[in-house]
Chain A
């Protein structure tokens, strides 16, 4: 059919093409595909679909190297969410996604709509969302702007998830100047479904109607995908209108209606109209089914009059779905939506002709051959070269850094670390998230990982997000390996076998060789770790261009891990509980201090080799720990991470403030190590266990070839008393608890941000 420009459409000029973010090569490719000059509408479509955000053009070749299959993987990457089988015919759908750029300019709505998008990705698979997690990175809390972003994001996440009624059960919050101006907001959703109810977003069946469902389409969020694909700049605030506005109530209706539609058998496919809205959802569903589609923009329910096809196709108005129904079932579909007070409009159909066509009534405004709109997007493997500056930092001899005079008293150092907002209790955050709704949260926020029971079975799933961006900055490959290993260790500490991951790759501008180097190395490290630990990648999200005028963020490959607890009897908590229990350290201590929170917090230094990650040892550690848990020998298990062994022990005695204990510990066995490395170094592969039966734990560890040492006893003494040869660290538990639990509330109380946030939300609500 003949494609005609609409009256009033701008003329296609090199300037207009550049404005749409297409390179000259990409534009030439488009012209070659069409065999003519594109219309304005076509240019808009391609600018969205070929944006980094939608096309993964700089990451796809790397992502192909990740392990993605295993017998339990029912759906790997390429769908709305990954799906794994967990036995008894049950399955888990899960995915993580970023909303970094919107949150940088409008934290409340940016973070809220991030939650909305990831919920839709999961329930469109036919899964009922049962848990949310989020992984957040901000600059230093000393900055008023950062406190505003932090408070706004937390409130946005809370208000959205709380209203839809999905518990936010875990997450992480990290503060580091590297994220100043470009916060990272990654939201993960986990849903439960029966294997038989798995739905895929594959358009099929000539004549089947395409139906727009949910909210009407407005002019908000146009070019959001393109905005997410460029560096943040001084002018980014002006792009605030590109940030969408969330409506969690409509989301809740959409959730219930979508699950009812999927279970009704009246539809063949469903997809969220997320980034690049109607354009990407329709084009991607068509491409997966290798079918043609036609969309009539005059039939799209619009929020305002006079919207052009360009606007309707590129709008990112929230809480909308695109459904392919079975022919003749339109009325049944409409009835289900009416029950939930939602609108449905047939806007197109699946056609035999292999084209992606958009019409406005009688006029064809865009037409692409076959599915080439999706498949013809170029991919890039640009130059990769490590930054000299970072290499020098890594190779610096950090052992030579002199101790500060105050470090004579290791209690001072310990409390200083516990007060570090990255380590300190995040209760201020998770208290704003409903984590008890749906009455399935066995372990909520604050533990090593969250545990959510599966009603009607004796099983549960364990969930965690992890990444230490400082490690990845200093050594991207090792850092990514550690991110996977730590996430696996965390879920294992709760009694769960690590099963699979979703990942969120947050990096800078890939066109810069040092950034592409980080991306390439991190993906390689992740692949190694996922293979070694048997946790395939089932999907995820790539967020590039996380830069602002002061530079790129730390390369931050966030890992979202799902583990399976085979019996509720295995669920294990982090904190010590019972006086007289023996404390056993699984794994070994080392002299490593590179990349540690200790160097950052106490010496304001980001340097050295991050701790070495031995994946074979990590696997053995997990096996040994899980076997000891199954034997009933483990009372508590807590991974040592940021701040090292001393911080881990301190957390074990006071992370549950209402049930604080104490401990006597002897680390004399390691008195030859530098004291600060032993106490605060972040050697990998270590777990602190408390047990009524130390012989059983030691024997199990020995069988698996895991180093294990008895290091002390749990006491209700009110103190943490650690002896190391001639040295002694004796701290009062209430004082440690004060440092750990009050650090963030104190900072936030001082600031005026509570007021800022109240204003933001009132303006919206």
Chain B
């Protein structure tokens, strides 16, 4: 299987997104340049973290107009899997691949920390490797991660089971403020209605090597490997 990692000029999580499938799964991964028009037949597209075009205007607002994004949207419309981490999630929302928007953290501060998440769905092609209700730990690192949408959208997401990860108190630790950015309904990650596009603020691609901390991101990559026919 080949993962294609889109490199926007200000992407900086592209390296981690490239290394994760290679090191955790032994699969192939290549970079896709933002000015290109060709996805080079990759099976899975990853929109990585970073600051796509500086994001001085609004995270992802310019990236959606880049040449490669036309191809990514077409790939998603064909049912191809797209995984969007952090800035990628912001871009996916701007590009209309996912509903809602990511606003400035409620604290107005960038937050980098390990965070507890509850796996809400295990029947997606990204999460079958987890257990329903499992509490996992992944790193977050963002300044604009407050998921927001109108009530109708939120109800639809709840009703259709599109909320995949929620920030959650860790049963082993004190339940202090566990929602790190003020996201509505503690939403950390969602899928689109078709279930082939995942957007999430936490970074599973940074959690695949036990040397660096809990390797709870591995199951996400394994799920993709097990579900995507090559």
A interface residues, Cβ below 8 angstroms from B: 155, 158-159, 162-165, 247-250, 252-253, 340-341, 430-442, 453, 455, 568, 658, 754, 757-758, 765
**Cβ < 8 Å to A, chain B residues 86-138:** 107-113
Q: Taking each of B20, B50, B112, B206, which has the highest tally of chain A beta carbons within 10 Å of its own beta carbon?
A: B112
In whole angstroms, what is the CA distance A162 to B13 when docked?
A: 11
A439 touches B110 (CB 8 A): no
In the complex with contacts A247-B54, A439-B19, A434-B110 CB distance below 8 A: yes
Is B175 interfacial (CB 8 A cutoff)?
Answer: no
In the complex with contacts A163-B10, A436-B141, A441-B212, A658-B109 CB distance below 8 A: no
In the complex with contacts A159-B110, A162-B143, A165-B13, A436-B212 CB distance below 8 A: yes
User: Which of these, A162, A165, A340, A453, contacts B110 with CB under 8 Å?
Assistant: A162
B141 touches A162 (CB 8 A): yes
Is B12 interfacial (CB 8 A cutoff)?
Answer: yes
In the complex with contacts A163-B10, A165-B12, A437-B12, A432-B54 CB distance below 8 A: no
Give the secondary structure class of B's interface: loop
B109 touches A432 (CB 8 A): yes
How many residues does chain B have at the interface if contact means C-beta atoms less than 8 Å apart? Answer: 34
Show 5 residue pairs from A and B whose CB-CB distance is below 8 angstroms, ordered by the A residue: A158-B110, A163-B51, A252-B10, A437-B16, A439-B206
User: 9 additional contacts, CB 8 Å, given A431-B111, A436-B206, A439-B16?
Assistant: A163-B12, A165-B12, A165-B13, A247-B54, A252-B10, A439-B19, A439-B205, A442-B211, A658-B172
Contacts of A159 in B (CB 8 A): 110, 143
Contacts of B141 in A (CB 8 A): 162, 434, 436-437
In whole angstroms, what is the CA distance A568 to B211 when docked?
A: 9
Is B139 interfacial (CB 8 A cutoff)?
Answer: yes
Contacts of B13 in A (CB 8 A): 165, 437
In whole angstroms, what is the CA distance A478 to B203 when docked?
A: 45
A249 touches B53 (CB 8 A): yes
In the complex with contacts A434-B141, A438-B16, A249-B51 CB distance below 8 A: yes
Contacts of A436 in B (CB 8 A): 112, 139, 141, 203, 206, 212
**Cβ < 8 Å to A, chain B residues 135-167:** 139, 141, 143
Contacts of A754 in B (CB 8 A): 107-109
Contacts of B108 in A (CB 8 A): 754, 757-758
In the complex with contacts A436-B206, A437-B141, A253-B110 CB distance below 8 A: no
Is B79 interfacial (CB 8 A cutoff)?
Answer: no
**Cβ < 8 Å to A, chain B residues 1-35:** 9-10, 12-13, 15-16, 19-20
Contacts of A658 in B (CB 8 A): 172-173
Report the nearest A residue to B138, measured CB to CB: A436
Is B209 interfacial (CB 8 A cutoff)?
Answer: yes
Report the nearest B residue to A247, measured CB to CB: B54
**Cβ < 8 Å to A, chain B residues 179-210:** 203, 205-206, 208-209
Contacts of B203 in A (CB 8 A): 436
Q: Taking each of B10, B111, B203, which has the highest tally of chain A beta carbons within 10 Å of its own beta carbon?
A: B10
In the complex with contacts A162-B141, A441-B212, A252-B111 CB distance below 8 A: no
B211 touches A453 (CB 8 A): yes
In whole angstroms, what is the CA distance A363 to B76 when docked?
A: 60
A434 touches B51 (CB 8 A): no
**How far apart are B146's CB and chain A's nearest CB, in angstroms?**
14
Contacts of B143 in A (CB 8 A): 159, 162
Report the nearest B residue to A568, measured CB to CB: B211
Contacts of B139 in A (CB 8 A): 436
Report the nearest B residue to A658, measured CB to CB: B173
**How far apart are A342's CB and chain B's nearest CB, in angstroms?**
10
In the complex with contacts A341-B9, A431-B113, A442-B206 CB distance below 8 A: no
Contacts of A155 in B (CB 8 A): 109-110
Contacts of A250 in B (CB 8 A): 54
Give the 10 A-B residue pairs with the shortest CB-CB distance, closest first: A165-B12, A249-B54, A434-B141, A436-B139, A758-B108, A163-B51, A439-B16, A434-B112, A432-B110, A249-B10
User: Which of these, B16, B173, B205, B212, contacts A442 with CB under 8 Å?
Assistant: B212
Report the nearest B residue to A443, measured CB to CB: B212
Contacts of A162 in B (CB 8 A): 110, 112, 141, 143
Contacts of B51 in A (CB 8 A): 163, 248-249, 252
B9 touches A437 (CB 8 A): no
A253 touches B9 (CB 8 A): yes
Contacts of B209 in A (CB 8 A): 439
Contacts of A442 in B (CB 8 A): 211-212
A252 touches B9 (CB 8 A): yes
In whole angstroms, what is the CA distance A440 to B15 when docked?
A: 11
User: Which of these, A252, A440, A757, contacts B12 with CB under 8 Å?
Assistant: A252
**How far apart are A41's CB and chain B's nearest CB, in angstroms?**
34
Report the nearest B residue to A154, measured CB to CB: B109
Contacts of B20 in A (CB 8 A): 439
In whole angstroms, what is the CA distance A252 to B54 when docked?
A: 9
Contact with A along B35-57 (1 / 0, CB 8 A): 00000000000000111011110
In whole angstroms, what is the CA distance A158 to B16 when docked?
A: 20
In whole angstroms, what is the CA distance A453 to B139 when docked?
A: 18
**How far apart are A137's CB and chain B's nearest CB, in angstroms?**
22
A435 touches B173 (CB 8 A): no
Contacts of A765 in B (CB 8 A): 56
B112 touches A435 (CB 8 A): yes
Report the nearest B residue to A734, measured CB to CB: B174
In whole angstroms, what is the CA distance A431 to B181 when docked?
A: 13
In whole angstroms, what is the CA distance A758 to B172 when docked?
A: 34
In whole angstroms, what is the CA distance A158 to B111 when docked?
A: 10
In whole angstroms, what is the CA distance A340 to B141 when docked?
A: 25
